[in-house]
Amino acid sequence: MICNLQRKKVIVAMSGGVDSAISAFLLKKQGFIVEGLFMKNWEEEDSKQYCMVKKDLNDAKETCKKLGIILHTVNFSYEYWNNVFLVFLKEYNNGRTPNPDVLCNREIKFKTFFKFAIKNFNADYIATGHYVRCVYINNKYWLLRGFDLNKDQSYFLHSIDNCNLSKCLFPLGNLTKYKVRYYAYKLNLSVANKKDSTGICFIGKRNFKDFLSSYLKKKPGIIISIDGKKLGHHQGLMYYTIGQRKGLNIGGISNFTSKPWYVVDKDLKNNFLIVAQGRNNIRLMSTSLIVYKLHWINWKYLKNSLVCTVKIRYRQIDINCSVTPILKNRVHVSFLKPAFSVSPGQYAVFYLHDRCLGGGVIKYRH
């Protein structure tokens, strides 16, 4: 498979988890010169978080020692704060629902980490434990979904530059998670049973409301129905997303049915959280989108209309759609059937079968 690449040097992003561990193992087995690089991207504010990062680093050290590879460390906290976290906060402050994992991959793993590894270690490639595939078709590198569709992470990697993609290796792209853990057990790695990381990229799982309120001022306001009736109070628009059902605390209101309430919109000007009853309420359904801040993996911009599928959230089933360019950096997306719970600020990622074409940020929904 990689006989012509043997003895090339690859720097693996070691997280202290099982995926990066097996990525390093497989690459070494294939004949690469493999070294690991552990990134610290967040300055801890509490002892619990400090312990988590310390454990991840220790796990990465133990794994690299077991595999017989060198482990380097680097601190990208400054880059993460400025290029990921501040953008994340700005989006929430503007009433949108951002996805920090996309930004994190674009700005840190496949830009900052990528440049650092290539320049400082004279690496030929970088590698990560993402469940995606990279193929070379008609003189171009393309990003494909991972073989394990339950773990596929192409949604998060849709904004990688094509020139960088040519120097990225994804050893787990053709494997299932079960197979990855099996390899780890056979190698007797301590991370074989380690749980997958959750929560905000590089920050981890937190009490989200408490965490967000540490950086953004709370702006409590009124919850209203779609016909303008006051139903209760919200703690701040930043805490809610379109389609949200839980945490509204407005059940059992007289003169209304027993159907559950859902967030259908946010009125930033008046600080109103707008809700409606029933999952199939027309206000929860969208027939089209405007998507901007586009990145196409192999095109500068879309020239002609395109029939494909789109994901409007990670793990959500693909939606059949047609995509029409309206500006160089903006497209109109029409759904074949109405889609539930479209949230401005999230990413719309386009696919042609297994091939990830690129994507952008949802600006408006209709």
Distances in whole angstroms, Cα of residue 158 to Cα of each of 134, 152, 190, 343:
12, 12, 32, 18
Rounded to two decimals, the pTM is: 0.92
pLDDT at position 238: 92
pLDDT at position 1: 42
Close Cβ partners of 272 (under 8 Å, ≥ 6 residues apart): 221, 222, 223, 224, 266
pLDDT at position 48: 59
Cα–Cα distance between 67 and 56 in angstroms, integer? 16
Cα–Cα distance between 302 and 294 in angstroms, integer? 9
Catalytic residues: 104, 201
Close Cβ partners of 138 (under 8 Å, ≥ 6 residues apart): none
User: pLDDT digits over 71-108, tens only?
Assistant: 999 999 999 999 999 999 999 988 888 888 999 999 99
Q: Is the pLDDT of residue 203 over 90?
A: no
Cα–Cα distance between 365 and 342 in angstroms, integer? 7
User: pLDDT digits over 320-343, tens only?
Assistant: 999 999 988 899 999 999 999 999
pLDDT at position 269: 95
Give the pair of three-digit tokens for residue 315: 């793990």
Close Cβ partners of 50 (under 8 Å, ≥ 6 residues apart): 44
Confidence grade of residue 53 (pLDDT, cut at 50, 70, 90): confident
6-15, 54-63, 186-195, 252-261: least confidently modelled range: 252-261
pLDDT at position 204: 62
pLDDT at position 2: 45
Per-residue H/E/C for 248-269: CCCCCCCCCCCCCEEEEEEECC
Average pLDDT of the residues in 123-134: 97
Q: Is the pLDDT of residue 186 over 50?
A: yes
Cα–Cα distance between 361 and 342 in angstroms, integer? 11
